[in-house]
Structure 1
Amino acid sequence: MDKHKVNVNGIDMVYEECGQENEKAIILLHGFCGSSHYWHNVCPLLTDHYRVIMPQLRGHGETSAPDNVYTMEVMADDINALIEKLGIEKTVVFGHSLGGYVTLAIADKYPDKLAGFGLIHSTALPDTEEVKRKRYQDISFIQKEGIEPYVHELIPKLFKESKRQDMPDEVEKVKEAGLNMSAKGAIHTLEGMMMRPDRSAMLHEAKYPILLVAGAEDEVVSPDDTFSVNEKETPKTTYEYPHIQENTFEGVAHMSLVEAPEQLARVIANYLRTLSEKEPVRAL
């Protein structure tokens, strides 16, 4: 995999990529306390037909961690600036967890840049009051104790217990990505996640197919939250919207991109094939 650093939107952003530059471009966004490494097992499975770009979000990995709140809109500005820097006309973005929140902000602010998008273990719903209270507690914990004990407590919750036992090396790599994050970056990201609006209307109003992936064992973002579509105060499920492709991975928690990368890559590839029938993904 090739690693690059570019200055976008006032920060130095690191991104990795695999595939060929003249192929159709897709973007994979990682989750909270993660990095582009999250996608390392998926990326090679998509390179036959796509140029795969894996940015490290602000405050994560080796990307700059400025001292301000990392709203989803600011992160969307970062990715849009990267898209423009790379000369990509139109792309498809797949966002895992936090990356899904950023993906929705991109679709909201820069709709002309997307031919489609996917949410992987993520949701278009805003934080509940209960979740906001937990984020405040997390911020306080990190301020007092630092990032290391927080990451050691967070990472095991992302995996099904049997997966933690079966793939200790992969779990350790995910933990390392979190430990490389600064306390400041984690706090500013938590602050930004609390501020995100309800974007569920974007799912049922989309003019192109949308991919949603949930883990049946996910205790971070439940399948109900991933597949919930709210319209005019009447909760509905994605079954009422045929353009939404819903996938539940059995035996998987919050990390299908690590727990079941081959299955996730197949689902993404199938979605991209159906999407290309609607509108091709183009790169300049």
Structure 2
Amino acid sequence: MILVENRGVSIAFEDHGSEATPRLPIVLGHSFLCSGEMWREQLPALEGERRIINIDFRGHGGSSHLSEPFTLYDAVSDVIAVLDELGIERAVWCGLSIGGMVALRATLEHPERVAGLILMDTDAGPETLVHMLEYRAMGAVARRFGLGPLLPSVARLMFSATTRREQPALVAEWKARFASVDVPSALLGLDALIKRDSLLERLAEIDVPALVAVGEEDRSLPVPFSRRLHERLPDSRLAIIPGAGHLSALEQPERVNEVITDFLASRFD
């Protein structure tokens, strides 16, 4: 794990693959409450062909715990700082959930740094009122009692019914990982998500190829959010992943790897 300092925060990342490959590098951005470990099933499928930069967002994984509020644009700055450290000018940005939200904002704020987008289980709109109320209630519980009491609810939001039924060991593993997340950092991350701005009216400005993928059973950001994103992006394709929920890359890795590698081969080889 390598660390880069940006605006007083240490950002952890892994650098996989060769600098010499002629293909564009890929930046991986994980979901809220996760870390770069979320991409463990994608790395073997990708790193033989491309350089892969796997980042832990601030407050997650090996990056600094947080005590001050931040926005998704601060997370964009963190990723740019990592790319600057590595001398990478342009890359394909792949993000799931908050990772996709960061990638979209990077494309609009730093278009010269983004060659393409892989947007998984994410959204370009503001937080819905229903989710805002639900997440604030969950935040209040976490602030008082920690994440433990919320783990069953979090698992239902993150994993499909299919995954919970057919892959109980995977769900149990990630429930334990969620339980170990620093609570103050998680609350600040939740606040950044709740307060995010809408990009819906700006999506037409994005002129890079995009893959929009979503778990068919995603409860956190259901299929209509991804369909809306796909319809508003000028150059995108949509893939719906059967049997997957919000953490589709973990739940159905073979199918996810297939749609990602097909997209990359068709647009960037």
Asked if the contact 1:208–1:275 (Cα under 8 Å) also holds between the matched residues in 2, the reply is no
CA deviation string 1:5-57 (max 9, x = no partner): 22233211111243223233101111010011110011111122111111111
Q: Aligned pair in 2 of structure 1 residues 134, 43: CA closer, same or farther (>3 Å)?
A: same
The reply on whether 1:59 has 2:59 as its aligned counterpart is yes
Q: Aligned pair in 2 of structure 1 residues 174, 22: CA closer, same or farther (>3 Å)?
A: farther
TM-score by length of 2: 0.92
Look up the equivalent residue of 2:255 and give its one-letter code: Q
Residue 242 of structure 1 deviates from its aligned partner by 6.1
The reply on whether 1:254 has 2:246 as its aligned counterpart is yes
Look up the equivalent residue of 1:16 and give its one-letter code: E
Report sequence identity in percent: 25
Look up the equivalent residue of 2:168 and give its one-letter code: P
Look up the equivalent residue of 2:228 and give its one-letter code: S
Look up the equivalent residue of 1:127 and give its one-letter code: E
Partner of residue 7, structure 2:
9
What value does the CA root-mean-square deviation take over the aligned residues?
Answer: 1.8
Asked if the contact 2:243–2:252 (Cα under 8 Å) also holds between the matched residues in 1, the reply is no
Structure 1, unpaired ranges of 5+: 230-236, 278-284
Partners of 2:208 and 2:189 in 1: how far apart? 29
The secondary structure found in structure 2 opposite 1:14 is: strand
Partners of 2:254 and 2:37 in 1: how far apart? 16
Residue 175 of structure 1 deviates from its aligned partner by 2.2
Q: Aligned pair in 2 of structure 1 residues 169, 192: CA closer, same or farther (>3 Å)?
A: same
Aligned residues: 267
Asked if the contact 1:27–1:93 (Cα under 8 Å) also holds between the matched residues in 2, the reply is yes
Partner of residue 175, structure 1:
175
Asked if the contact 2:38–2:250 (Cα under 8 Å) also holds between the matched residues in 1, the reply is yes
Superposed, 1:11-30 pairs within 5 Å as 11-23=9-21, 24-30=24-30
TM-score by length of 1: 0.88
Partner of residue 255, structure 2:
263
Partner of residue 48, structure 2:
48
The reply on whether 1:273 has 2:242 as its aligned counterpart is no
CA deviation string 1:66-95 (max 9, x = no partner): 211231111111111111111101001111
Q: Aligned pair in 2 of structure 1 residues 121, 241: CA closer, same or farther (>3 Å)?
A: closer
Look up the equivalent residue of 1:178 and give its one-letter code: F
